[in-house]
Amino acid sequence: MKAFTYERATSPAAAAAAVAGRPGAKFLAGGTNLLDLMKLEIETPTHLVDVQDLKFDRIDATADGGLRVGAFVSNTALSADPRVMRDYAVLTRAIQAGASGQLRNKATTAGNLLQRTRCPYFYDTNQPCNKRSPGSGCAAIGGYSRQLAVIGTSDQCIATYPGDMAVALRVLDASVETIDPKGAVRTIPLADFHRLPGKSPEIDTVLAPGELITAVTLPRPLGGRHVYRKVRDRASYAFALVSVAAVIQPDGTGRVAFGGVAPRPWRSPAADAALPHGGAAVVAQAFAGAKPTRDNAFKLPLATRTLAAALTPARTA
């Protein structure tokens, strides 16, 4: 870990300005991802702006019947909110399928969205990795890639976005509210929030330097049956090999997003439209053009089978 300076921000705009004004500055929320990465010198911020005092810890109803979730609301609090449990069960299930109780107590809504990949080569600073040090190469291509992405990749990076919560948010059409150093506010649909790697895999999201997340908003409840199914090698405390978030209406229509397969939660209108035709049809649409590696080709049939499980009404988990 490199030495760094630290401050606690007192207002959103000041926080944004503090980060934008200093090269190498970063926001600190729960710290469950950032501090780990700093210890390994994968992230080397020179200055941390702690956002815990900014009062982003409320979940409020919005005028159009949805919810506005403060950026600092913990994963535990969000997943246990009675409104979320009732109207957005897919979100509760996704969050509770992630990490551990202790981590969820500390992890925040914004921090969770911004968690970085779990590609093992990204974690080993002796190995080439374009995401960690641009231009150094990608050790995962031709290496061990069982956990990595099958679609949305580039010849520069094949990492996944590893999180669970965002997969549910994607299916719910959530959006991210931000404020920039000048105090300007914008709303980014979750669909546009995470970037594909292309030629610059080091940039995970569309956030500008210093742009601070203030909230995540959920549109009006969708009804339907909410499913989050996370498949992994052990029963708990592991990242998804494949996950499926789905909201299925009684008539068989609905929405579906996949986790663990791409650099961002993976969803497409064509795939949603195929839902009444069953899991295989959805996967054929969603994964058209997939480029799996030898190690992770199993994720395609696994996605089909997992979705089939999710579509079987007897199953609720």
Partner 1 sequence: MKFDTPAGPNPIDRMKVVGQPHDRVDGPLKVTGTAPYAYERHAVAPGALYGFILGAAIAKGRIAAIDTRRADAAPGVKAVVSYLNAGPLGKGGKNTAKLLAGPEVDHYHQAVAIVVADTFEQARAAARLIDVDYVRGSGAFDLAAAAPTAPLTGGSSKEGSAAPKLDRVGDFESAFAAAPVTLDATYTTPDEAHAMMEPFATIAAWDGDRLTVWTSNQMINWAHEDLAKTLGFAPDKLRVDSPFIGGGFGGKLFLRADAVMAALGAKAAGRPVKVAMTRPMMFNNATHRPATIQRIRLGAERSGKLTAIAHEATSGDLPGGSPETATSQTKLLYAAPNRLIGQRLAVLDLPEGNAMRAPGEASGLMALEIAMDEMAEKLGLDPVEFRIVNDTQVDPEKPGRQFSQRQLVRCLREGAERFGWRARDAQPGRRRDGDTLIGLGVATAFRNNINMKSGARVRLGGDGVVTVETDMTDIGTGSYTVIAQTAAEMMGVGLDRVVVRLGDSDFPTSSGSGGQWGGNSSTSGVYAACVKLREAVAQRLGLDPAACDFADGEVRSGGRGVALTSAARDGELVADDTMTYGTLGKQYQQSTFGAHFVEVGVDAYTGEIRVRRMLAVCAAGRILNPKTARSQVIGAMTMGVGGALMEELVVDTRFGFFVNHDLAGYEVPVHADIPHQEVVFLDEADDKVSPMKAKGVGELGLCGVGAAVANAAYNATGVRIRDYPLTLDKHLDRLPEVGAMRRA
Residues interacting with partner 1, by CB under 8 A? 1-3, 39-41, 118, 120-121, 123-124, 126-127, 139, 142-144, 146, 229, 231-239, 241, 277-281, 298, 301-302, 304-306, 308-309, 311-312, 314-315
Pick from 26, 131, 255, 299 the residue near ligand SF4 by CB under 6 A: 131
Pick from 119, 179, 213, 241 the residue near ligand SF4 by CB under 6 A: 119
Listed ranges 104-112, 122-130, 194-202, 250-258: which one lies at the site for ligand FAD (CB under 6 A)? 104-112
Q: Which is nearer to partner 1, 239 or 266 (CB)?
A: 239
Please choose which of ligand SF4, partner 1, ligand FAD, none residue 33 contacts, taking the beta carbon within 5 to 8 angstroms, the exact cut-off set by kind: ligand FAD
Closest CA to 42 of 125, 134, 114: 125
- Residue 272 interacting with ligand FAD (CB under 6 A): no
Least separation, in Å, of the C-beta of 152 and ligand SF4?
12
What gap in Å lies between CA 115 and CA 173, rounded to an integer? 19
Are the beta carbons of 161 and 169 closer than 8 angstroms?
Answer: no
Q: What is the DSSP string of 111-177?
A: HHHTPPP--TTTT-TTS-BTTTSTTS-BSSTTS--TTS-SSS-BTTB-PPP--SHHHHHHHTT-EEE
Gyration radius of the chain over CA positions: 19
Please choose which of ligand SF4, ligand FAD, partner 1, none residue 31 contacts, taking the beta carbon within 5 to 8 angstroms, the exact cut-off set by kind: ligand FAD
Residues constituting the chain: 317
Positions 199 through 228 that interact with ligand SF4 (CB under 6 A) = 201
- Residue 262 interacting with ligand SF4 (CB under 6 A): no
Beta strands in 103-221 (DSSP E): 175-179, 185-189, 212-218
The DSSP bridge partners found for residue 6 are: 48
Are the beta carbons of 221 and 62 closer than 8 angstroms?
Answer: no
What gap in Å lies between CA 34 and CA 44, rounded to an integer? 10
Place of tokens 């998804």: 240
Please choose which of partner 1, ligand SF4, ligand FAD, none residue 301 contacts, taking the beta carbon within 5 to 8 angstroms, the exact cut-off set by kind: partner 1
By CB under 6 A, name the binding residues for ligand FAD.
26-34, 36, 51, 71, 98-99, 103, 106-108, 110-112, 114-115, 163-165, 212-213, 239
